[in-house]
Chain A
Amino acid sequence: MADLITQIYNVVDPFEPLQPGDPAYVDCRDVRGDADVLRDLGREIVRSQRKTCQLFVGHRGGGKSTELLRLKAYLETQGCFVVYFAAIGDSGDMDQEDVQYADILLACTRHLLEDLRQADPKPVLNWLRDRLQSLQAIAQMEIRLDGLPIEGQITQFAKLTTAIRAVPSQRQEIRKQLDPHTVTLLSALNEFIADARRKLPADKDRLVVLVDNLDRIVPSPAMPNERINLDEIYLDRSDQLRGLDCHLVYTVPISMVYSNRAAELTNTYGDPTILPMIMVRTLDGQVYPPGLERMKAVLAQRVWQVAPDIHLETAVFETVEVLNALCLASGGHVRELLLLTQEAINYTDQLPIAARAVQRALSRLRDSYRRTVQTGQWSLLAAVAQTHRIANNDAHRDLLFRRCVLEYRQVQPNGMEQCWYDVHPLIRAIPEFREALEAL
């Protein structure tokens, strides 16, 4: 059995999103500006008489996947049949550096086919049959439908998505073949979905698709001067993206929501649901005790899995101040909290974790932010720290994307939601930032 500090080190690793019902989950709604996926995304799906299509957005590593998995579990108790998949990574179907609409549609198709085994896949397989000849010529892959049982035919679809992902040189060609046929695929898929809906288990009356990890799509123009793929996917193809005959939730890159396309995006999909940071400080910079407590709880719930009831503030950390400093330095970002904890443990031979070890961890992460910020961005950061607002431009989007600027929300006593921005707390101590602040 490994010693306690080793167990703690391993239990705070950031690799897996929490599964629904995981005891490590901490409810942070009230300190995330009342953000509640079950209510914001879930209720819309449960109550709406018509199919819905919603966008979900948040900082990288902020807890989106964990929340979507919770949403899935919740919806399943509310009479929904849920197909959840991570489009990128985890045997996903796409290459995040180069994603186009057709890829998303194919990925949806594959997962719907695999998850809705009770429905008749004929329409979709027929569509594929019509495409076979031209595709086989390009991809030099063998896709065979005839003579295969239905199960086998369905796996042939996976072959197609794998080929697109695996061979960049063929990707463009395959897409060129498929692009004119995405509309027919969509209607074949909807036929399939209609049948699936008829055959849903007795206690289910809704079909929901949750597409995770799309926020990792890197903006890239297919060719110079063309529209970037994000615009192409979310705006130009919005009719098709929304066209699946079921309830849909797509993740979307945070930079898209803060672009000059934001208004168009809202017109098309309604307001995206945003998962802000956990508010550890208020707008005027005061420590916000409920947020701070929640960050501690995030750590405690994990630590207690290996050491039930251990006192975080004295047994794991040297003092409450040390723990507070760690939580405040994370800016309310969960993965950052876990990273800082692991780094501090690296500088610790034996529990409790000392102030010096935490200081080292902060210093290391601070330095990596210093290296992230480009010359010329310091003054932008200083302005954000002062105004708590961001401009809709590439520079600020870039800072959000790299978590140098974080978003917070709070519901005020009058019920109005207030949204503001701040620089990552570790950035405040960087000399370049201080100079820029003084120069304002």
Chain B
Amino acid sequence: MTEPILEPDFDWEAEPAPPSFEEEYQALRRAVRRAQGFGLLFVQCSPAIGHDLIHRLQSDLSDKPADVISFTTTVPGNNLFRAVRQRLDEHPDLRILFIQGLEYSLFAYEDIQRLSGWTSAEIYSCSWQGVPPLMQNLNWLREDFRDNFPQVCLVFLVPRFLVDYLVHRAPDFFDWRSGLFEFPNPVTTADHPSRQVWLAEHYEQYGTMPAAERRRHLLELQDLLAEPGQPVANQGRLLVELGKIFMADHNYAEAIARYEQAIVLVPDYSEAWYRLGIAHAHLGNYEAEIASYDQALMLNPQDASVWNSRGYALFESGHSAAAIADFDRAIALNPHNDKFWSNRGAALGTLGQFQDAMRAYEAALAINPNNYNVWFDQGVTLFYLGRYEEAIASYERALAINPEDYEALTNRGAALWQLDRLEQAIASCDQAIALNPDYDEAWATRAHVLADSSPEAAIASYEQALAINPENPEVWYGQACCYAQQGLMDLALDRLSHALHLDRDRYAPLAQSEKDFQPLQQHPQFQALLAGRGQPLLES
């Protein structure tokens, strides 16, 4: 009963070549010219092209009075209807009204970011909270537009993302269109100024931008990305740029998705691999991080930053020797980056190669004397070398850069203590405690300083440190010594048992020769503790 001949033999599913700019313009011109009553047209184009189109239409259709409403900020009151009515009250003879700049009403809304770029599945759980009121206004007043402007053809010139957004958030309004016209930036304008900016500059300042500004960049980038005929290499670069914006938003999963897309398009894109590694680093995916750097280095072994990043990943995961080799490669490629030197110093420090570490820090400081980390790390190294005066000087340079750094204050206190400048040492620790009362090292260092002169005060300070962190054997041990000095042997034994419980290898020999514990030498429980037989006295 069905007649197969009804099936058109023309291939309707075949995609025609996109219309030329001129073809599309003629279609738009016809639509505007033919609209007799109320009309709703959408033109997807960049603001610059929109500007040209308006001019051309106005001169081609000079018999139809036309005007332009061009927003450069949020639509007042988010009420487009009112803005249109005002304009028509002033010019009742208008037949065409071009409307530009609606996008400025949307940048403040996170919702738009979610719908126009995020791959997250959360889209289904639309709460519709925070939907831009402009969209509500359009949907809601749809019939009011029709009934109040029965002779006007409204022509909306909008960027691509706004069309996507209308589809989702003002479907009833968009549903009434008599046409959607698309004018991509001609591919020959690859040197278009805005694109040049994107592709040439490194927009590392995303992190410091206001969120709305970042959103605007994000949407612009996505529109560029969606342009037909965009060369693959450009697509890759735009994706990496998008990834950076997501990084600035701390949305590492989305950033990773962009970098991976870039890599699919341009597999030998070393920067994408490199940035993928950094994004993984933020999520703690150590193996993926290293693997990404490996790829980046295979593709481009000349990028010092990548060597440095891989070195840092290795350093952080305890592979200091391998890390140093990477830092050396980075330095060989670019000896003028203080961070490479300071990283090298830190890695050498963890291997106990303090002299070499010092040389690295000196090189770093010669390049950048304002690198706080280097002054701090150098202070630590000097302390280990027993060069306490110099360590103090180094911490003071660090504190000059960051006066609120309680760790440097604490470490300075420790160095001062070593020089027996006890009052100054305590003052330094007190400063640290005032800045951060929850920093147990400051309390512990303060206690060490007080231990000989006023054991009672030291015990109280140790108590503070233990309340914050009961896992530091040094604190238990220090307190045990203080109790022993005071002749409170049960308490001393109890604290010692905790220290031994946490680190027997270090504290058993120390206790054996500790002068504070001389009176305990014959105590059976003391001997039992040192022999590892005693019951730990967990509470006294």
Q: Does B2 contact A (CB under 8 A)?
A: yes
Interface size on B, residues (CB 8 A): 61
Residues of chain A contacted by B9 (CB below 8 angstroms): 321
Decide yes or no: A360 and B16 within 8 Å by CB, A342-B178, A346-B179 being known contacts.
yes
Q: Which of A5-13, A35-43, A119-127, A261-269 contacts B (4 or more CB under 8 A)?
A: A5-13
Q: State whether the Cβ of B336 lies closer than 8 Å to any Cβ in chain A.
A: no
In the bound complex, residues from chain A placing their C-beta under 8 Å from that of B180 are 343, 364, 368
- CB neighbours (8 Å) of B136 from chain A are 95-98
Measured CB to CB, the nearest residue on chain A to B28 is A346
- Are the C-beta atoms of B10 and A355 separated by less than 8 Å? yes
B2, B36, B182: the one within 8 Å of A2 (CB): B36
Partner of B8, one of A60, A61, A325, A398: A325
Q: Is the CB of A89 within 8 A of B12?
A: no
- B212 interface residue, CB < 8 Å from A? no
Find the A residue at minimum CB distance from B42: A368
Q: Is A134 part of the contact surface with B, judged by Cβ < 8 Å? A: no
A221-B127 CB under 8 A given contacts A287-B7, A359-B12, A372-B168:
yes
- For A66, what are the chain B residues with a Cβ–Cβ distance below 8 Å? none
Question: B137-145, B381-389, B426-434: which one contacts chain A?
Answer: B137-145
A286 touches B (CB below 8 Å): yes
Q: How far, in whole Å, are A153 and B119 apart by their CA atoms in the complex?
A: 54
Q: Which residues of B contact A374 (CB under 8 A)?
A: 123
Query: Is the CB of B471 closer than 8 A to any CB of chain A?
Result: no
- B177 interfacial by beta-carbon distance below 8 Å: yes
- What is the CA–CA distance of A321 and B6 in the complex, to the nearest angstrom? 7
- Among B4, B128, B181, the one with the most A-chain Cβ atoms within 10 Å of its Cβ is B128
Which residue of the partner chain, among A218, A359, A375, contacts B16 with CB atoms under 8 Å?
A: A359
CA distance A53 to B446 in the complex (A): 80
In the complex where A10-B36, A97-B139 touch, is A346 in contact with B30 (Cβ < 8 A)?
yes
Q: Which residues of B lie under 8 Å from residue A398 when comparing CB positions?
A: 124
Asked if A360 contacts B19 (CB within 8 A), the reply is yes
Q: With the chains together, A220 CA to B130 CA distance in Å? A: 11
Tell which of A5, A286, A347 touches B34, judged by Cβ atoms closer than 8 Å: A5
**Does the CB pair A371–B164 fall under 8 Å?**
yes
Tell me the complex Cα distance, A348–B181, Å. 14
Q: Is A385 an interface residue (CB 8 A)?
A: no
In whole angstroms, what is the CA distance A356 to B136 when docked?
Answer: 37
Q: Do A15 and B176 have beta carbons less than 8 Å apart?
A: yes
Nearest-neighbor residue (CB-CB) of A223 within chain B: B129
Instruction: Report whether A60 and B143 are in contact in the complex, using a CB–CB cutoff of 8 Å.
Output: no
In the bound complex, residues from chain A placing their C-beta under 8 Å from that of B93 are none
When the two chains form their complex, are residues B16 and A363 in contact, meaning their CB atoms are under 8 A apart? yes
**Chain B CB within 8 A of A282 CB:** yes
Closest CB of chain B to A329's CB: distance in Å? Answer: 7
Indicate whether A395 reaches chain B with its CB closer than 8 angstroms. yes
Contact A342-B179, Cβ < 8 Å, known A89-B140, A286-B2, A288-B2: yes
Cβ-based interface call for A18 (8 A): no
Kindly state whether residue B31 has any CB partner on chain A within 8 Å: yes
Contact check, B139 vs A60: say whether CB atoms are below 8 A apart: no
Query: Which residue of chain B is the closest to A347 with respect to CB atoms?
Result: B27
Instruction: Give the nearest-CB partner of A342 in chain B.
Output: B178
Which residues from chain B contact A287 at a C-beta distance below 8 Å? 2-4, 6-7
Find out whether the CB atom of B3 lies under 8 angstroms from the CB atom of A289.
Answer: yes
Taking a contact as CB atoms under 8 Å apart, the answer to whether A216 and B143 are in contact is: no
Within the assembled complex, what's the spacing in Å between the Cα atoms of A201 and B257?
Answer: 69
Inter-subunit contact A375/B119 (CB<8 Å): yes
B residues in contact with A168, CB < 8 Å: 133
Query: Which residues of chain A in 314-360 are interfacial with respect to chain B, using CB atoms and an 8 Å cutoff?
Result: 321-322, 324-325, 328-329, 335, 339, 342-343, 345-349, 355-356, 358-360
The answer, yes or no, to whether A362 is at the interface (CB within 8 Å) is yes
A138 within 8 Å of B (CB atoms) = no
In this complex, what residue of B is CB-closest to A292? B6
Given contacts A96-B140, A339-B178, contact A402 B171 (CB under 8 A): yes
Q: Does A91 contact B (CB under 8 A)?
A: yes
Q: Kindly list chain B residues whose C-beta atoms are within 8 Å of the C-beta of A394.
A: 124-125
The interface bits of chain B over 162-173 (1 if a CB of A lies within 8 angstroms of the residue's CB, else 0) are 011001100110
A289–B4 Cα distance when bound, in Å, is 10
B63 CB-CB contact with A under 8 Å: no
A6 B36 Cβ-Cβ under 8 A: yes
- The residues of A that contact B172 with a CB separation of less than 8 Å are 60, 216
Q: Which residues of A contact B139 (CB under 8 A)?
A: 96-97, 216, 218
Residues from chain A with Cβ under 8 Å of B146 in the complex: 15-16
Asked if B367 is an interface residue, CB under 8 A from chain A, the answer is no
Closest to A375 in B: B119
A175 within 8 Å of B by Cβ?
Answer: no
Residues from chain A with Cβ under 8 Å of B143 in the complex: 86, 89-92
The answer to whether A60 touches B171 (Cβ under 8 A) is: yes
B503 within 8 A of A: no
**Cβ B121 vs Cβ A371 within 8 A:** no
Cβ < 8 Å to B, chain A residues 390-420:
394-395, 398, 401-402
In the bound complex, how far is the Cα of B175 from the Cα of A440, in angstroms?
32
**A339 vs B31: C-alpha distance in the bound complex, in angstroms?**
12
Write out, one digit per residue, whether chain A residues 100-115 have a CB within 8 A of any chain B CB (1) or not (0).
0000000000000000
Asked if B147 is at the interface (CB within 8 A of a chain A CB), the reply is yes
Q: Does A246 contact B (CB under 8 A)?
A: no
Any A CB within 8 A of the CB of B37: yes
Q: Does B124 lie within 8 Å of A88, measured CB to CB?
A: no
Contacting pair A325 B10 (CB below 8 A): yes
Q: List which B207-262 residues lie within 8 A (CB) of chain A.
A: none
Please, which residue of chain A has its CB at the minimum distance from the CB of B178?
A342
Instruction: Tell me the smallest distance from the CB of A366 to a CB of chain B, in Å.
Output: 8
Q: For B88, what are the chain A residues with a Cβ–Cβ distance below 8 Å? A: none
Smallest Cβ distance from A379 to chain B, in angstroms? 13
Are A88 and B2 interface neighbours, CB within 8 A? no
B49 at the A/B interface (Cβ < 8 Å)?
no
Which residue of B128, B133, B163 is within 8 Å of A220 (Cβ)? Answer: B128
Taking the complex as formed, is A310 at the interface, i.e. its CB lies under 8 A from any CB of chain B? no
Residue interface bits A213-226, CB-to-B below 8 A is 1, else 0: 00010111100100
Evaluate contact between B6 and A363: CB separation under 8 angstroms: no
B52 at the binding interface (Cβ < 8 Å): no
Q: Of all chain B residues, which has the CB nearest A282?
A: B2
Q: Which residue of chain B is the closest to A97 with respect to CB atoms?
A: B136
- Selected contact of A324 from candidates B2, B8, B128, CB within 8 Å: B8
A48 to B12: give the CA distance in the assembly, Å. Answer: 50
Whole-angstrom distance between the alpha carbons of A376 and B180 in the complex?
26
B10 and A14 contact, CB distance less than 8 A: no
Q: B27 touching A346 by the CB < 8 A rule?
A: yes
Given the complex of chains A and B, what is the CA–CA distance between A79 and B408 in angstroms? 91
Query: How far is it, in angstroms, between the C-alpha of A15 and the C-alpha of B3 when the chains are bound?
Result: 35
Question: Smallest CB-CB separation from B167: which chain A residue?
Answer: A372
A89–B146 CA distance with the chains assembled, in angstroms: 10
Contact (Cβ within 8 A) B178 A13? yes
Distance (Å) between the CB of A251 and the closest chain B CB? 13
Give CA–CA (A159, B147) in the complex, Å. Answer: 21
Query: Footprint of A on B, CB under 8 Å?
Result: 2-4, 6-10, 12-16, 19, 23, 26-28, 30-31, 33-39, 119, 121, 123-129, 131, 133, 136, 139-144, 146-147, 163-164, 167-168, 171-172, 175-182
Residues of A within 8 A of B (CB): 2, 5-6, 9-10, 13-16, 60-61, 86, 88-92, 95-98, 168, 216, 218-221, 224, 282, 286-289, 292, 321-322, 324-325, 328-329, 335, 339, 342-343, 345-349, 355-356, 358-360, 362-364, 368, 371-372, 374-376, 394-395, 398, 401-402, 428-429
Task: A10-B37, A60-B175 are known; give 9 further A-B pairs, CB within 8 A.
Answer: A13-B39, A60-B172, A96-B140, A287-B3, A343-B178, A343-B179, A349-B30, A376-B119, A429-B12
A sample of 18 inter-chain contacts (CB < 8 A) reads A9-B178, A10-B36, A14-B176, A86-B143, A95-B136, A97-B131, A97-B136, A97-B140, A220-B127, A292-B6, A339-B177, A342-B179, A346-B178, A346-B179, A364-B182, A368-B167, A376-B121, A402-B168
What are the 5 tightest A-B residue pairs by CB atom distance, in nearest-first order?
A: A429-B13, A90-B143, A321-B8, A89-B143, A346-B27
